Amino acid sequence: MMRTRITVLASLLAGMSASLVTHAQPAAWPTRPVTIVVPYAAGGPTDIVARALGASMTKPLGQSIVIENKVGAGGTIAATHVARSNADGYTLLLHHNGMATSVALYRKLDYNPLTDFDYVGQVADVPMTLLGRRDLPADNLPALARWIQANKEKVNLANAGIGAASHLCGMMVQQALGIELTTVPFQGTAPAMNALLGGQVDLLCDQTTNTISQIRANKVRLYGVTTPNRIAALPDTPTLNEAGFKGFDVKVWHGLYAPKGTPKIALDRLNTALRAALGDPAMAARMTDLGSEVVPEAKQTPAGLQDWLRLEIAKWTPVIQKAGVYAD
């Protein structure tokens, strides 16, 4: 009888300590800094969003966030790296539309965006701007279109690599003009912008998160914003649609990813910290000042990112296949 009671007590205690252990685990994550891998160069738009997010997520997460720039191959090197990293929540990826377009653009992709990642949530939506070097002899879109037609043999267009948002925007600009230009790939907007400022390239279409400071300093020519509506940060700038590229509509969206198999507790904590960061007025104000906006709450969720990614892959794959653009 006594032995039975002891056994029952022992198993109750065991059950209690097991549940204590289960409850102790959450408090233990994260115990060290978390790294967000950025697929483009420091100082570029993706990097700027990642650093603003990292700064705002630090407090709710209770750990510092390190930003690591792993550049090259239109963001696919960074995505492969994170897909193969330990699924412990300490290595994350902040990526944009390139996560969806890489599926069709790369003949050989070492990750599958729909099966090799867990999702934390979407972050921010950023318009793009079509820019020219400061001394380009055209000060509006119709004049630019004429100048390009007259100089098409030598005009060049910078981008941040195959699969970059600037590559996508550049493809749409060429489609709108009905001509093919020489494109010059860089490893991010930061070096591409330096080349534009230095006059080594003629044109660049890129996110306001980087371009707005050069626009405000009057160091580049601005031909329009890529979104269907004008943006509050550049109220006098026409949309490319208004200015003559009918139907032009590109926006860059950003998501935060973890390797597949990341423990639920880490994903939950990361999502809580993401939502706290996006609700932080300092983060929202920084994004607004850069011409962009944090996404609405429904998109700040794992499903909000996963569903959007699925839609974007379905949207862009046939477009890219039809255009016949590939990278090896």
| Contacting residues toward ligand ASP, per CB under 6 A | 40-41, 44-47, 160, 164-166, 188-189, 206-207
For 85-108, give one letter per residue: b (16+ CB within 10 A) or e: bebbbbbbbbbbbbbbbbbbbbee
The amino acid at 206: D
Nearer residue to ligand ASP within complex by CB, 164 or 173: 164
Closest CB to ligand ASP among residues 265, 325? 325
Task: Please give the full DSSP string across 108-161, using - where no structure is assigned.
Answer: S-SS-TTTSEEEEEEEEEEEEEEEEETT-S--SHHHHHHHHHHTTTT-EEEESS
CB of 131 to ligand ASP, least distance (A): 12
- Residue 189 or 226 having the CB closest to ligand ASP: 189
Whether the CB-CB separation of 325 and 71 falls below 8 Å is answered with: no
Report the residue number, 40 or 245, with the smaller CB distance to ligand ASP: 40
Distance from C-alpha of 10 to C-alpha of 45, rounded to nearest angstrom: 58
Nearest-approach distance from CB 305 to ligand ASP, in angstroms: 18
Instruction: Compute the least distance from the CB of residue 296 to ligand ASP, in Å.
Output: 23
Question: Under a CB-based contact definition with an 8 Å cutoff, are residues 105 and 77 in contact?
Answer: no
Rounded distance between C-alpha atoms, residue 278 and residue 21, angstroms: 32
Smaller CB separation from ligand ASP, 166 or 292? 166
What is the Cα–Cα distance from 208 to 206, expressed in whole angstroms?
7
